[in-house]
Chain A
Amino acid sequence: MTITSYCIIRNQQVLTPNETLSLTQPSFDDFLTALYDRLQPNYPRFYKMDNQSKLGFLAAEILLKEYSIQSYKPETVSVVLSNANASLDTDIRFEASTQTVASPSLFVYTLANIVMGEICIRHSIKGENAFFVAPEFNARLMTSYSHQVLNQNKTEVCLAGWVDVLGGQHNVFLYLVENRERGLALPHTATELEKLYRQ
């Protein structure tokens, strides 16, 4: 069971094992659009997503472009995510919309785990999923839960990590854990995860 690869997005910068990409834009919204334009996934649904889903979607695009999970059966791919602010970024926007007419399209994103749904729809993932809200990235919790999921017979690969957004502040750390060895092939331990997250 090893960590295959990762994608970090912070301060309008994308970091993967092979590349560091800065896309500095006047606003976080502009950054998301610039990154989408660069990746060209041709996925109009992106424009309808809230910022948390956009961010998770883009990180997953980068990660899974290089390390495809298409050879896995959809039921064997699991997703385990976590963050600190749940869906607060969108909750605030939705609350503001209720001053006039409440926005239905904002309302559907007022749940922290919607980002997982968007990633699963995009990549046809049908395995187990879980979302934890925690004060900060908890490598021990993530390792322990992903380990448990991967030790069950059904899951062969786990897309895991941290997707947090609030008012333009953003922090994403997505990584792949697989039963087979490829890519970085780092041991799936809390110490390794913490090291990758803190870089």
Chain B
Amino acid sequence: MEQLMADLKVQIIEALNLKHLKPEDIGDDQPLFIEGLGLDSIDALELIVLLQQKHNTKIANAQDGPKIFKSVRSIAEYVRANQAAA
């Protein structure tokens, strides 16, 4: 799980062009939207693409988005659960 979260931080910075940040600037449980990193709706779409491309993981229900994308840890948990189920 720790490695997955570390990978996700690098991938999020790359995919979302957060070049002013380093992976260590993103906390495992830090909120990603509004407060925290301040991501927006376009970033959410990029995160969906990232999970599809890098982790072969699809968001089955759009309504689950806010819960899944709450933090790096919640994304990692979703990826892990989804991969385990596949």
Task: Write the residues of chain A forming the contact surface with B, with a CB cutoff of 8 angstroms.
Answer: 44, 47-48, 100-101, 103-105, 108
CB atoms of B42 and A108 under 8 A apart: yes
CB atoms of B42 and A105 under 8 A apart: yes
Once bound together, how far apart are the Cα atoms of A48 and B40, in whole Å? 11
CB atoms of B49 and A47 under 8 A apart: no
Residues of B within 8 A of A103 (CB): 46, 49
Contact of B18 among A47, A100, A101, A108 (CB under 8 A): A47
Number of interface residues of B (CB under 8 A): 12
CB atoms of B20 and A44 under 8 A apart: yes
Once bound together, how far apart are the Cα atoms of A105 and B14, in whole Å? 12
Task: Write the residues of chain B forming the contact surface with A, with a CB cutoff of 8 angstroms.
Answer: 16-20, 42-43, 45-46, 49, 52-53
Once bound together, how far apart are the Cα atoms of A7 and B22, in whole Å? 33
Interface of A is mostly: helix
CB atoms of B17 and A48 under 8 A apart: yes
Once bound together, how far apart are the Cα atoms of A149 and B10, in whole Å? 47
Once bound together, how far apart are the Cα atoms of A135 and B37, in whole Å? 41
A158 shortest CB reach to chain B, Å: 30
Residues of B within 8 A of A101 (CB): 49, 52-53
CB atoms of B46 and A105 under 8 A apart: yes
Residues of A within 8 A of B42 (CB): 104-105, 108
Once bound together, how far apart are the Cα atoms of A101 and B55, in whole Å? 14
A-B contact pairs, 11 of them (CB 8 A): A44-B20, A48-B17, A100-B53, A103-B46, A103-B49, A104-B42, A104-B46, A105-B42, A105-B43, A105-B45, A105-B46
Once bound together, how far apart are the Cα atoms of A48 and B42, in whole Å? 10
CB atoms of B52 and A48 under 8 A apart: no
Can you name the residue of chain A whose Cβ is closest to the Cβ of B48?
A: A104
Contact of A47 among B17, B43, B53 (CB under 8 A): B17
- 6 closest A-B pairs by CB: A104-B45, A47-B17, A47-B19, A44-B20, A101-B49, A48-B17
